[in-house]
Structure 1
Amino acid sequence: MTDTMQARKSDTFVHFADAPVEDLEPGIKRQILTYSPDLMLCRLWFDAGVAGTVHQHPHSQISYIESGRFRAMMGGKERELVAGDSVVIMPDTDHGITCIEAGSLLDVFNPVREDFLGGGN
Structure 2
Amino acid sequence: MTAPSQNCSETFVHASDVPVETVGEGITRQILSYGPDLMLCRLWFDTGSVGDVHRHPHSQISYIESGRFLSVVNGREQELDVGDSVIVSPDTDHGISCIEAGSLLDIFNPQREDFLATGEEKS
Q: TM-score, normalised by structure 1?
A: 0.91
Q: TM-score, normalised by structure 2?
A: 0.90
Query: Runs of 4 or more off by more than 2 Å in structure 1?
Result: none
Aligned to 1:69: 68
Q: CA RMSD of the aligned region, Å?
A: 1.1
What is the total number of aligned residue pairs between the two structures? 114
Please give the per-residue CA displacement for 1:78-118, whole angstroms capped at 9, x wherever unaligned: 00000000000000000000000000000000001000011
Please give the per-residue CA displacement for 1:44-78, whole angstroms capped at 9, x wherever unaligned: 00000111111000000000000000000001100
Which whole-Å CA distance do the structure 2 matches of 1:83 and 1:91 have between them? Answer: 24
Percent of matched pairs sharing the same residue: 68
Larger strand share, 1 or 2: 2
User: What runs of 5+ residues in structure 2 fail to find an aligned partner?
Assistant: 119-123
Which letter does structure 2 place at the counterpart of 1:69?
R
Deviation (angstroms), 1:8 = 1.2
Which whole-Å CA distance do the structure 2 matches of 1:41 and 1:68 have between them? Answer: 19
Which whole-Å CA distance do the structure 1 matches of 2:74 and 2:16 have between them? Answer: 35
Aligned to 1:3: none
Aligned to 1:48: 47
